[in-house]
Amino acid sequence: MCGIVGYTGSSQAAPILMDGLAKLEYRGYDSAGVAVTKPEGGNIVVKTKGRLSVLSDMIDGGCALQGTCGIGHTRWATHGEPSTVNAHPHHNDDYSIVAVHNGIIENFAELKVKLTDKGYSFYSQTDTEIATKTIDYYYRKWGDPIKAMVSFILRVRGSYAIAVMFADLPEQIFIARKDSPLVVGINGGETYLASDVPAILKYCRDIYYMDNMEIARLEKGKATFFNVDSKIIEKKTKRIEWDVESAEKGGYEHFMMKEIHEQPSVIENTLSCLLKDNSIDLSEGKVTDEFLQSVERIQIAACGSAYHVGVAAKYVIEDLARVPVNVDVASEFRYRNPVFGKHDLLIVISQSGETADTLAALRGAKENGVKTLAIVNVLGSAIAREADMVLYTKAGPEISVATTKAYSAQLIVCYAIAVRLAKVRGTIDDKRYTKLIKSLQSIPAQVKKMLADDTSIKWLATKIAGKSDVFFIGRGIDYATCLEGSLKLKEISYIHSEAYASGELKHGTISLIENEVPVISVITQPRLAEKSKSNVVEVKSRGAYVMSVTLSGNYDIGNSVDFCIYIPKTEPCFTASVSVIPLQLLSYYVSVTKGLDVDMPRNLAKCVSVE
């Protein structure tokens, strides 16, 4: 959601800002802008509604703006409609203060009234202009940028990552953070700022992660951090091991397709960090066997695709370890006043580690004395820092808004937790434990096999692209896969799709099945195959066009449907990792067939760091 970049150094700032903003396009946006401190003094702001390419044309890729210090922003509208006037950066009346901001200022109306009483007027509909003029007010009062930023932090309520330039203090940027991510990087005499690592990865690898309620002053080759008492604090950098190429398309037409094809290596890399001497070892994440033995109930909170990982994890954990699991959408979990037990474990799942609702769920559990375990992809993210235990996925940067490789990596971590939990609790023996680990190790090759030939899926995509409705049905773990397949299709192709537990068909859903409506049935669980086949017969008899994803050799099912994709025989607990692949590819090719923006679907953002 939105993107912030900043730079101060010896090079021209605007081209660097534009390059960084391009790396953050995946976060979603509807307008863009940059501000640069002019060599002769003062700030210049250029912004526009629409794609970054429009802004680039206005300033010749940044070459038309001269200055070695600047900030930039891609906006995803929250306060105020998408427009040039509402785009960032925002400024005070004489442009002596300019700012960019991610997040939502909850008490904006109260602040606006007080500022109006002080003689301020407003040109936009945004809370960011109010934030900028609040800082202006305190800077005029104190004459000190750090005091002004501290006063801002103490005065506003809500979430923010904010970067500010003062004309009185050329070549310096002042930043503050609460609940919205900010990272700072330094390389030689150059200092970089961004919402996310990919924006500055080509320039530096040693990154400072801003914590909540922190302020920083950025100068050429230097960053000084302060707490809300204006005291200097020491911070350590974290080394980013991703290579620059992992944040590029690498010859693929879209990031989504590149990331789909990265899944075998991502799964292998994640699994390699969880296995030692052919045994699952979670100690790097501070997850001990003694703790796992003490757990009586698991609660999982996540959003979007991560929630679907949680649904799959519920089936696997309960099946293998016989521990009860509840799964909640994080936005509901945080507000339903959940009941916690003394020996509960809350698992939160988030690619970015900054998802607002998931972070709130984690904090609520900790306030109730519940141990928390985070499954995240971003080192040093807010959720990773605040959880009691952390298991990292090794997915690298995921750029496409529609997650694929992070989803697959999260599944692998959940499988590892389930298998180790079962082992230490004695619900599986050594023989079964060894067999499950071998099955985990075979998943990368099975996924690779599914990616080897997608010709038939391309053909199916042309058939589905013109449809207005698609239904997904499955039982058990296959239902979890259907949830993810349906979400992928709807979010990047804009086709209405729904996933249903197959047994629910007769409870209303079947009334929507009519001639040639596509129904995608996932059937990978041997003990549920006969039941699932009967559901296929039900929809076929009502004229549905049925595609099935099933295990290799299930020709009885293949002969009962219009189109069938076979996946390699896999341990039933782990089939979600393989059966999701054709659904990802189908969604991708439907979107391409329709000529849509695969990587940046409308109205969506990669990281939802506000409610």
Q: What is the DSSP string of 411-479?
A: HHHHHHHHHHHHHHHTSS-HHHHHHHHHHHHHHHHHHHHHHS--HHHHHHHHHHTT-SEEEEEE-THHH
Instruction: Note whether 404 and 256 are within 8 A (CB).
Output: yes
The residue out of 402, 424, 451 marking a domain boundary is 451
Domain-located, residue 130: yes
Do 464 and 477 lie in one domain? The reply is yes
- What was the pLDDT predicted at 524? 94
DSSP for 209-251 reads: EPPTTEEEEEETTEEEEE-TTS-EE----EE----GGGGS-TT
Domain-located, residue 601: no
Active-site residue flag, 303: no
**Number of domains composing the chain:** 3
Active-site position among 2, 204, 273, 564: 2
The residue out of 404, 428, 451 marking a domain boundary is 451
Domain-located, residue 415: yes
Domain-located, residue 600: no
- What was the pLDDT predicted at 242? 66
CA distance 97 to 99: 7
User: Omega before 264 cis (within 30°)?
Assistant: no
Active-site position among 314, 488, 606, 607: 606
Strand order in the sheet with 325-329: 325-329, 297-302, 344-350, 371-376, 389-392
Place of tokens 């953050």: 24
Tens of pLDDT along 289-333?
999 999 999 999 999 999 999 999 999 999 999 999 999 999 998
Helix, strand or coil, per DSSP, at residue 160: strand
User: For the chain, which residues score pLDDT lower than 50?
Assistant: 609-610
List Cβ neighbours of 409 (8 Å cut-off, separation of 6 or more).
266, 267, 270, 377, 393, 394, 395
Do 447 and 459 lie in one domain? The reply is no
- What was the pLDDT predicted at 511? 64
- What was the pLDDT predicted at 501? 86
- What was the pLDDT predicted at 1? 56
Active-site residue flag, 506: no
Do 225 and 328 lie in one domain? The reply is no
Tell me, letter by letter, the H, E, C secondary structure of 486-542. HHHHHHHHCCEEEEEEHHHHHHCHHHHCCCCCEEEEEECCHHHHHHHHHHHHHHHCC
Strand order in the sheet with 496-501: 496-501, 469-474, 518-523, 545-551, 563-567
List Cβ neighbours of 177 (8 Å cut-off, separation of 6 or more).
160, 161, 162, 210, 211, 212, 213, 214
Instruction: Note whether 1 and 607 are within 8 A (CB).
Output: yes
Domain-located, residue 146: yes
- What was the pLDDT predicted at 604? 66
Please count the other Cβ atoms lying within 10 Å of the Cβ belonging to residue 560.
18
Domain-located, residue 602: no
- What was the pLDDT predicted at 79? 65
Do 424 and 493 lie in one domain? The reply is no
Q: Which two tokens stand for residue 113?
A: 């009234």
Domain-located, residue 609: no
CA distance 10 to 155: 35
Do 417 and 271 lie in one domain? The reply is yes
Residues of the domain holding 468:
453-595
- What was the pLDDT predicted at 605? 55
Do 319 and 424 lie in one domain? The reply is yes
Q: Which two tokens stand for residue 480?
A: 């979890």
Do 446 and 457 lie in one domain? The reply is no
Domain-located, residue 608: no
The residue out of 398, 423, 451 marking a domain boundary is 451
Place of tokens 């970015």: 352
- What was the pLDDT predicted at 313? 98
Do 87 and 147 lie in one domain? The reply is yes
> For residue 203, what is the domain's CATH number?
3.60.20.10
Do 414 and 342 lie in one domain? The reply is yes
Do 410 and 463 lie in one domain? The reply is no
> For residue 287, what is the domain's CATH number?
3.40.50.10490
Do 436 and 547 lie in one domain? The reply is no
Do 486 and 370 lie in one domain? The reply is no
- What was the pLDDT predicted at 244? 60
- What was the pLDDT predicted at 499? 92
- What was the pLDDT predicted at 225? 97
